[in-house]
Amino acid sequence: MHLNLLVLRCRDIEATRTFYTQLGLTFTREQHGSGPVHYSTYLGGLLLELYPTNGEPDNVRLGFSVPPTLLAQFNTHTQDPFQGCRNPDGRFVALSVDE
């Protein structure tokens, strides 16, 4: 068994897409029938989708391994024991050096 889908509910979907694009992800704009416009990308076998929400965003915590040069571009000084930053919804995103 493996995880193959993760959906993040976002208050500002465009700001969230921009944030993750800066981490190196490339999204495809999608809309199924009359459903909401959303974005998707594949990370290996995992489909990551960004969907809009009018309420509170989910409380999912994510982590990415990134190149050292990319890690330096993000504010990684937090109270958390892991290096990271917060996305536009305030969701903590842990960042580690890709080895």
Rounded average pLDDT over 72-80:
58
> Distance between CA 28 and CA 75 in Å, rounded?
27
∠ Cα 93 94 98 (to 5°) = 125
Contact by Cβ (8 Å): 66, 97:
yes
Residue 73 Cα distances to 70, 81, 84, angstroms:
5, 19, 11
Residues in the chain, overall count = 99
> Distance between CA 2 and CA 19 in Å, rounded?
26
What is the model's pLDDT at position 77?
A: 52
Assign domain 5-97 to its CATH architecture: Roll (3.10)
Instruction: Give residue-wise pLDDT tens across range 14-73.
Output: 999 999 999 999 999 999 999 999 999 999 999 999 999 988 888 888 888 888 777 777
